[in-house]
């Protein structure tokens, strides 16, 4: 483990007692993660004023909210949201990502994957559990030919947008100007019909253009 890794503060919003306990137990063993808040409902979570956290782990099946509504409520406070849910239907996953979630895990995810997802989401990246990503990509490829044809560089820029990178980050990584990045991004928007970054992320996942760690799927 990198000793210079900064401490990450997280909150857990999960109503199932046994799973909540298991999640707390798994995460609390990690030296660089501190659980600063735990709640059994969205209302209880939102009732805490000025909560300072890096990531909120959110169950979609809470008693006082369902699906993307909870994600929007969390992200409206400026917090990065990581969904952990028993629900694995593509429409549900895509709706959560479009609402602003930076990651999606099923409740079959291992403790190691949860920790990795927290680390990546806190760093501004996107994470989808490998099993779920394979399922989504497999389903997406059946209709992938219906989407517009993107060049290799356009796919690369789109995958980095989906991973949460800024235009400046993309420019530095690809060694091109910010203006050029925005030119590529405008072409992607024109071809896909998606303007907002969350919508571009959803599009990239739905069309099998990114992997579970936000990397571009090689063009064939």
Give residue 142's pLDDT. Answer: 47
Confirm if 103 and 59 have CB atoms less than 8 A apart: no
Query: Do 107 and 179 have their domain in common?
Result: no
pLDDT at 4 over 50: yes
pLDDT at 96 over 60: yes
Give residue 144's pLDDT. Answer: 47
Query: Do 152 and 115 have their domain in common?
Result: no
Higher pLDDT, 80 or 132: 80
**Which tens digits make up the pLDDT trace of 111-140?**
999 999 999 999 988 887 776 666 555 554
Query: Do 69 and 164 have their domain in common?
Result: no
Give residue 145's pLDDT. Answer: 43
The model's confidence at residue 143, banded by pLDDT at 50, 70 and 90, is very low
Query: Do 68 and 20 have their domain in common?
Result: yes
Give residue 88's pLDDT. Answer: 78
Q: What is the pTM (predicted TM-score) of this model?
A: 0.68
| Within-domain flag for 214 | no
The model's confidence at residue 217, banded by pLDDT at 50, 70 and 90, is low
Give residue 92's pLDDT. Answer: 82
Give residue 127's pLDDT. Answer: 85
| Within-domain flag for 47 | yes
Q: Which of 76, 97, 129 is the last residue of a domain?
A: 129
**Which tens digits make up the pLDDT trace of 6-16?**
899 999 999 99
DSSP per-residue codes, 140-194: HHTTGGGSPPPPHHHHHHHHHHHTT--HHHHHHHHTS-HHHHHHHHHHHHHHH--
Looking at every residue in the chain, the average pLDDT score rounds to 83
The CA distance from 220 to 202, in Å, is 21
Which structural domain, as residue segments, surrounds residue 108? 8-129
Query: Do 64 and 120 have their domain in common?
Result: yes
First and final CA of the chain: distance in angstroms?
37
| Within-domain flag for 213 | no
Query: Do 63 and 96 have their domain in common?
Result: yes
Residues in the chain: 220
């Amino acid at each position: 483990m990198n000793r210079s890794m900064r401490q990450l503060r997280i909150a857990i919003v999960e109503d199932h007692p046994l799973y909540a306990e298991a999640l707390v137990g798994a995460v609390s063993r990690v030296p660089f993660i501190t659980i600063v808040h735990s709640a059994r409902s969205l209302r209880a979570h939102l009732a805490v004023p000025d909560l300072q956290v890096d990531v909120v782990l959110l169950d979609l099946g809470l008693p006082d909210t369902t699906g993307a509504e909870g994600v929007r409520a969390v992200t409206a406070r400026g917090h990065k949201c990581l969904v952990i849910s028993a629900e694995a239907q593509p429409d549900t996953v895509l709706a959560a990502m479009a609402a602003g979630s930076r990651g999606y895990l099923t409740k079959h995810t291992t403790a190691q994957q949860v920790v990795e997802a927290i680390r990546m989401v806190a760093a501004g990246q996107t994470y989808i559990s490998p099993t779920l990503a394979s399922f989504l990509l497999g389903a997406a490829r059946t209709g992938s030919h219906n989407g517009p044809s993107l060049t290799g560089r356009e796919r690369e820029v789109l995958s980095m947008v989906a991973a949460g990178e800024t235009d400046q980050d993309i420019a530095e990584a690809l060694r091109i100007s910010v203006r050029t990045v925005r030119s590529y991004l405008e072409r992607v928007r024109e071809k896909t019909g998606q303007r907002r970054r969350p919508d571009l992320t959803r599009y990239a996942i739905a069309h099998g253009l990114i992997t579970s760690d936000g990397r571009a799927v090689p063009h064939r």
